[in-house]
């Protein structure tokens, strides 16, 4: 068969039939039970439940409903957790790395322009998502890390401050004093309980304005007691955050390494593009992570959670681990008030 005949033969085949079944796109079907609630009017969504959800979504919602800018809305909402010393997983007050130094990761994505910005391993600046926004708006780069990110932040008027609160320092000290052979360094012992006792957190914030434009932020202090310089999924566009103005937004929290190697948020948005509901897309991303780990014989003793918002305002979330008491949650504020939705999970969390 020459090249022309070969190409001719191909035209009779669909793309799906050329791919091994594992890689073929899944069939597009959304059962009614996987449809999520639909937010009305301008909306701010975040990956927390009631306790933080209302505090976080309100300032962004106020901005959106008073003629403000979509990016200001998501930034001001994300800043609420970043600036609050009580939250030990984001911004100021975040759990430090194994040296006792707080290193922050954040990303931002603007739907209408498809622009994005990110910072990673940033020290001494309380609001990393605001620095990520400056990277997006004031440079033609996408990600700055470490000292370079800090110098860039200072140039833009951000103050270097001590981010280690007493609460986080004591948590770190306790961890340090109880160090065992179960740390991050290879070779790891057989069947290591890697993530069970590690403090994780992070927040995803999305906005959908009256024009139907989308934007999103993910911000975190990352994995508690991480190896200095470790960067998680949160500042990696497509992993911890992805926004496509034609389709929707997705964000991840939990064990970032899994989300990076599946490009989880991009995958969720892509599934929504193919017709899946936000819930269903988030569920499929969780299943993908579990499938990869099962194939490698790795026990599923870690969690990842995805939240998503589509262009029509439909919200969804799903996690790998969960329980009746601790299901994955997504919260939003829209013209009907503040809401929390509990999504599904794949595996019952051990008590
Ligand atoms: N995803 C974050 C990271 O891996 C941590 C988390 O969400 O808890 O850095």
pLDDT at residue 31, rounded to an integer: 59
Q: Is the CB of residue 36 less than 8 Å from the CB of residue 341?
A: yes
Per-residue pLDDT at 60: 98
* Cβ within 8 Å of residue 43, ≥6 positions away: 61, 64, 207, 208, 309, 313, 332, 333, 334
Average pLDDT, the chain: 88
The Å distance, Cα 284 to ligand 1 centre, comes to 19
Residue 314 DSSP label = B
d(CA 276, CA 38): 14
> Between β-strands 43-46 and 104-110, what pairing exists: parallel, antiparallel or unpaired?
unpaired
Grouping H, G, I as helix, E, B as strand and the rest as coil, residue 322 is strand
| Nearest of 202, 201, 210 to residue 44 by alpha carbon | 210
Atom of ligand 1 nearest to the CA of 256: 4
Question: Is the C-beta atom of 223 inside 6 A of ligand 1?
Answer: yes
Nearest to 302, CA basis, from 254, 263, 269, 267: 254
Check whether 10 has a pLDDT greater than 50.
no
253 lines ligand 1 (CB under 6 A): yes
Closest ligand 1 atom number to CA of residue 199 = 8
In the sheet with 143-145, reading across from the earlier edge strand, the strands are: 143-145, 115-122, 104-110, 214-220, 203-208, 43-46, 329-334, 337-342
How far, in Å, from the CA of 3 to the mean position of ligand 1?
48
User: Taking residues 175-201, what's their average pLDDT?
Assistant: 57
Tokens encoding 277: 């509901």
Q: Is the pLDDT confidence value at 39 over 80?
A: yes
Report pLDDT digits (tens) over 63-111. 999 999 999 999 999 999 999 999 999 999 999 999 999 999 999 999 9
CA atoms within 13 A on the CB side of 316: 32
For a pocket test of ligand 1, which of 48, 103, 145, 223 has the largest count of ligand atoms closer than 8 A to its C-beta? 223
pLDDT the model gives residue 198? 62
Total-model pTM:
0.86
Q: Pick the catalytic residue: 165, 200, 202, 220?
A: 202
pLDDT in tens, 278-318: 999 999 999 999 999 999 999 998 999 999 999 999 999 99
| Catalytic (active site) residue 127 | no
Confidence band of 175 (pLDDT split at 50, 70, 90): confident
Residue 238 pLDDT > 80, yes or no? yes
Question: What whole-number distance in Å separates Cα of residue 124 and Cα of residue 154?
Answer: 10
pLDDT at 170: 83
- What's the gap in Å between 233 CA and the centre of ligand 1? 7
Count CB atoms within 10 A of the CB of residue 305.
30
CA 92 to ligand 1 center in whole angstroms: 16
| Atom 4 of ligand 1, nearest CA residue | 256
> At which residue do the structure tokens 């026990």 appear?
299
Instruction: Judge contact between 206 and 130, C-beta under 8 A.
Output: no
Nearest Cα residue to atom 5 of ligand 1: 222
CA 6, chain centre distance (Å): 43
In the reported structure, the alpha carbon of residue 105 is separated from the centroid of ligand 1 by a whole-number distance in angstroms of 9
pLDDT exceeds 80 at position 8: no
Beta bridge partners of 110: 115, 215
pLDDT digit string, tens, across residues 43-56: 999 999 999 999 99
pLDDT exceeds cutoff 80 at 208: yes
Fold of the CATH domain 37-345: 3.60.20
CA distance 345 to 17: 31
The Cα–Cα gap between 76 and 87 comes to 16
> Could you write out the DSSP letters of every residue in 92-157?
TT----TTS---EEEEEEETTTTEEEEEEEE-S-S-HHHHHHHHHHH-S-SEEEHHHHHHHHHHTT
CA of 107 to the centre of ligand 1 (A): 13
Is residue 150 lining ligand 1, measured as CB closer than 6 Å? Answer: no
pLDDT computed for residue 297 by the predictor: 92
**Residues ≥6 apart with Cβ < 8 Å to 2:** none
Q: Which atom of ligand 1 is closest in space to residue 89's alpha carbon?
A: 8
Question: CB-based contacts of 41: which residues, under 8 Å, 6+ apart?
Answer: 65, 210, 334, 335, 336
Asked if omega into 230 is within 30° of 0 (cis), the reply is: no
The two tokens of residue 178 are: 């109880």
Query: Rounded CA gap, 155 and 125, in Å?
Result: 12
Residue 5 has pLDDT above 50, yes or no: no
- Of 240, 263, 264, the one to substitute when testing ligand 1's pocket (max ligand atoms within 8 A of C-beta) is 240
Is the pLDDT assigned to residue 3 strictly greater than 50? no
Band of pLDDT at residue 174, cut at 50, 70 and 90: confident
């Amino acid at each position: 068969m020459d090249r022309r005949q070969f190409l001719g033969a191909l035209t009779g085949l669909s793309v799906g039939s050329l791919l091994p079944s594992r890689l073929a796109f899944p069939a597009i079907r959304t059962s009614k039970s996987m449809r999520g609630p639909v937010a009305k009017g301008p909306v701010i969504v975040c990956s927390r439940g009631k306790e933080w959800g209302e505090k976080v979504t309100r300032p962004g919602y106020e901005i959106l409903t008073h003629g403000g800018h979509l990016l200001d809305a998501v930034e001001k909402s994300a800043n609420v957790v970043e600036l609050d010393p009580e939250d030990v997983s984001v911004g100021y007050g975040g759990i430090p790395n194994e040296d006792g130094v707080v290193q922050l990761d954040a990303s931002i994505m603007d739907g209408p322009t498809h622009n994005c910005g990110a910072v990673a391993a940033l020290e001494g600046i309380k609001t990393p998502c605001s620095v990520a926004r400056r990277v997006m708006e004031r440079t033609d780069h996408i990600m700055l890390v470490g000292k370079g990110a800090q110098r860039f932040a200072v140039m833009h008027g951000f103050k270097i401050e001590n981010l280690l609160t007493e609460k986080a320092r004591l948590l770190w000290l306790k961890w340090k004093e109880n160090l065992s052979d179960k740390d991050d360094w290879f070779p790891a012992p057989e069947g290591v309980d890697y993530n069970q006792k590690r403090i994780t957190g992070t927040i995803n914030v999305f906005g959908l304005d009256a024009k139907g434009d989308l934007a999103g932020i993910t911000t975190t202090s990352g994995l508690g007691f991480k190896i200095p310089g470790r960067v998680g999924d949160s500042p990696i566009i497509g992993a911890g955050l992805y926004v496509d103005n034609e389709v929707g937004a997705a964000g991840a929290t939990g064990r970032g390494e899994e989300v990076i190697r599946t490009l989880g948020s991009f995958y969720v948005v892509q599934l929504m593009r193919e017709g899946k509901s936000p819930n269903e897309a988030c569920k499929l991303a969780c299943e993908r992570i579990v499938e990869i780990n099962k194939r490698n014989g790795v026990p599923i003793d870690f969690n990842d959670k995805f939240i998503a918002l589509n262009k029509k305002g439909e919200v969804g979330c799903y996690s790998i681990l969960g329980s009746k008491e601790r299901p994955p949650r997504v919260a939003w504020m829209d013209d009907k008030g503040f809401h929390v939705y509990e999504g599904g999970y794949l595996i019952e969390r051990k008590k």
